[in-house]
Amino acid sequence: MSEILTRIRLPGKRHGGFMDRGRHTAAAMIATMRRHAEYQKAEAEAVLSASDTDFRVDVVRGSCVQRVIEVLQTPRLHTEEKP
């Protein structure tokens, strides 16, 4: 038997939705989607306002457990987290 999910999407948008396990109210799903959108907006603004030299670029092995193989670029400001 398949599990029950509640899906929310914005019609006409290719990547405008998500699903959560269980049965949720429309109001709860809309509030959650708006929180996700605020987070994504902040992330997008940070990426768009950063200069090219602010990024760290690595070549890694593995998608779940990542091991750095080569560092292509270190950030200009060396306040980075561990890879």
For the stretch 50-61, pLDDT in tens is 999 999 999 999
Beta partners for 20? Answer: 6
User: Does 42 reside within a domain?
Assistant: yes
- Residue 68 belongs to domain spanning: 5-73
Nearest Cα residue to 53 out of 71, 76, 72: 76
Query: 20 with 34: CB under 8 angstroms?
Result: no
pLDDT in the model for residue 62: 86
User: Does 79 reside within a domain?
Assistant: no
Does the reported pTM lie above 0.75?
no
Is residue 20 predicted with pLDDT exceeding 70?
A: yes
Domain total for the chain? 1
